[in-house]
Amino acid sequence: MRKIKIIGMGKYLPGKAVLSSEIDKRLGLSDGWTEKKSGVYKRYYANGETASEMGAKAAQKALEDAGLTLEGIDCIVSASGTMEQPIPCTASLIHEKLKPKRPIPAFDINSTCLSFVTALDTMSYLVDSGKYRHVLLVSSDIASIGINPMQKESYVLFGDAAVACVIRRSSDGEESKIRASLMYTHSEGARFTEIRGGGTHLHPNDHSVKEDFLFDMDGKAIFRLSSKVINGFMDELLDQASLSTEEIDWLVPHQASGMAMRILAGKIGFESRKMVNVIKNYGNTIAASIPLALHDAIQNNQIRRGQKVLLLGTSAGLSLGGLIIEY
């Protein structure tokens, strides 16, 4: 149990809104296929913007929401599932755009779609211990450049977005906390979700198979493996928090796809009215997806102070991650 409080959040959506009806046309699909398959009505694609520019804009909003300036931040963590460029790390590039007057430390924590959950959990220990007072977490992902129109099942799902979040230790009298956290990696599913090319293995100068530089997902295999392990995972997470499913006020799942979220909620026994579902407006925005849903649910006054919130998702790896917070 760490006495951690989310004191501000901000989001940024890139300029170009793309309707599912446009995707239908682009891919030669029948009218309505994209929205039906994905649960997405609209997503945003970056149009010349970089992930660090988007992240910096989200960060500025999170700082305003927290009533802080950048001078109050002690550490910047990029919690993104994609990288802007191999070197330096994305946090340094966000730092460059924010132009702090002090040399605030900046580094990346990456577990693909779970990066925000992993970073929030990890950094909560450093904040709880007093190492850093205010930490700025930024999830900024550009999916649109790396999706494969030949794989329509995944192409239709994704959008681009940036979300930022400021955390600090709860003051005396404040009840905000992280009650439990759990992550498991089942690497027998490491190849279910991949972009194979672009790093040291399939280097762009030595490799020319274009598909290898694009997102490749075996949705059915992910579903089979995660279905097998999710209930055991949830039991352990709830046990750690000494809570039952009924005591959780809100489920904020990774916005993977409309169908995946419905099945997940059903499997772990959550009524759909307790699930924050914003995929319709944004698509799957990789690591920005969970904080984006959290952001909107707070803004819309759904999630209120003191309520118990479960952040839960799967990611490439294949990993499961969950965090139970009292907001």
> 60: closest CA among 51, 52, 69?
69
230 token code pair: 């999710």
The reply to whether 89 belongs to the active site is: no
3-state secondary structure of 177: strand
CB of 219 to a second copy, least distance (A): 15
Report residue 183: phi and psi, to 5°. Answer: -140, 140
Q: Quick one: 229 or 243, whose CB is closer to a second copy?
A: 229
Q: Quick one: 51 or 165, whose CB is closer to a second copy?
A: 51
20 token code pair: 């599912």
Catalytic residue among 95, 254, 277, 295: 254
Left, alpha or beta for 231 (phi > 0: left; psi -120 to 50: alpha)? alpha
Q: Quick one: 279 or 316, whose CB is closer to a second copy?
A: 316
Q: Quick one: 145 or 266, whose CB is closer to a second copy?
A: 145
Helix (H) or strand (E) holding 55: helix 51-66
CB of 205 to a second copy, least distance (A): 5
CB of 315 to a second copy, least distance (A): 7
Q: Which residues, listed in sequence order, are joined to residue 250 by a DSSP beta bridge?
A: 309
- Residue 227 to residue 106: CA distance in whole angstroms: 36
3-state secondary structure of 145: helix
CB of 185 to a second copy, least distance (A): 4
110 token code pair: 């990456």
The reply to whether 113 belongs to the active site is: yes
Catalytic residue among 75, 95, 110, 113: 113
Residues annotated catalytic, as ranges: 113, 254, 284
